[in-house]
Amino acid sequence: MFGSRLFFYGWWNWRFVFLLLWAVASNWYAGAQIDKYLLVGSKESATKWLRTAIVGDLALLGVFKYYDFFAVELSNLLGSRTAIPLLELTLPVGISFFTFQAMSYVIDTHRRLIKPMPILDFAVYLSFFPQLVAGPIVRASEMAPQISQRPDPRQVASGEAFQLILRGLFKKVVISSWLASAIVDDVFANPESHSSQDVLLGVYGYAIQIYADFSGYTDIAIGVALLLGFRFPTNFDRPYSALSLREFWKRWHITLSSWLRDYLYIPLGGNRGKNADTYRNLLITMILGGLWHGSTWNFVIWGAIHGVALVVERLLPNWQIHPVVRWIATFHIVCFAWIFFRAESFSSAMDVLQAMVTSPGSTELADVFLIFILAAMLTAQFIPKFKSEEFKQWLNSRGILTQGLAFGVGLVLIDIFGPEGVAPFIYFQF
C-alpha cells in the first residue's frame, strides 16, 4: 500500500519522494522517542524531541516555500547591494498538507492523545494519496484506527463514494472551470477594461469558483478514500450560508481551521486571557493561516482581513441584527478578502477594487445565465444538510450495478457540459 503511494507521488517528480520519505522517517522516530520518554516520566526530554520534530517540519516549509519570499523582502530592506541569493526551488506538491499532518502527529503523541503508530501505518497515513496533494488535513487520531483495522473493500459505502466523486467532478469540471473561463480570469487579468458591474460579478464569480474548485477536490478525495474503506472528516459545510465570520470558519476548510485552532490559537492562549490577548491571538492565527496558503503579501493581507473582521465581531455588542443583514455583511467581507487571494499582486488587487467602483467600461461579460448560475450556487448553500444525508443513504441501498450505471452516466454528462481545457485545482499550489 505504501509503495503505491510513493509511486503516485513520484509520478509527479521522483526527486521529492525522498522528501516525503524524510518526513515519514523523522516524524515517526520523533514520535517514538516522545512516547518513550513520557513513559519513563522524562517530560523535558520528550519536549525536546517534540521541538526538534516541529523545527524540522517547519524547516522543510521554510526552505521550499518561504525562503525566496523572505530573501527578497530582506534584500529590499537592506538594499540592492546586499542582495540575498535565491534558491528558486520547485514547490513540492502537497508539502503544506503533509507537514501539518506530521506536526499534528508528534504534538498529539506528546499530549498523550494517541499512541505511536507502527512505521508502515504512519507511512501510509502521511502519504495517503487521495488527500496528499490538497487535503483535507486528516489527523492521526482519525486515520490510525482505520489503518490498523485494514478495512474490508467489500464493505465500502460505494453509493455514497460515487455520489461524492460525481459531485466533486461537477463542481470542478463544470462550475469552477466555466466560471473561470466565462468571467473570472478575464476580469482579474484586465479589470480596467471591464465595467464596474462585470468586475463585481467577477469577484462574486471567484467566490463561487474557489468554493466549487476546492470543495470539489475535497469531495473527490473523500469519495476515493471511501472506496478504499477510509472515511475522512468533512471539510466544507455550506460556508456561504454563514451569518458571521466565526461561523464561516467553522464551515470553510474545516480541517485547516480546526488545526489552526487546536495547534496555534489555543497554545497562544486562545480566549483565556484579557480581551486584548484574544484579539492578538486571533490576528496572529489568521495572518499565519494566510501565510500558510502562499508566500506573498497578498495571502498575508487576506489572512489579516479575516483576523480583523473576527476581532471586530467580538468587539461589537450583541445586537439583534436581522439574519439577512448578517449574511450579506459576512458574504461581502469574504468576497472582499478573496480579491487579495486571487490577484497576482497587491497592485493587481487594488486595480480590481478601483475598477469595481470607477470603471466606465461597457458591460460585456455579465448575462442572465451567469447571474442565474451564481444565484443557484448561493441558494444551494441553504439546502438543509439532512437532505444530502438522506440521498447518500438511498444511494448506498442500491445495487452495485445500478450505482455503476449511474456513475457512468454522470461522468458522460459532466464531460458533455464541462468546457475544454480544465485548469488544475487551485489548491494544488499550496
Residues classed as catalytic = 293
Do 365 and 191 meet the contact criterion of CB atoms below 8 Å apart? no
For residue 261, CA distances in Å to 241, 257, 311, 428 come to: 21, 6, 15, 23
Do 294 and 429 meet the contact criterion of CB atoms below 8 Å apart? yes
Grid coordinates of 339: 480579491
Which residue has 473523500 as its cell numbers? 222
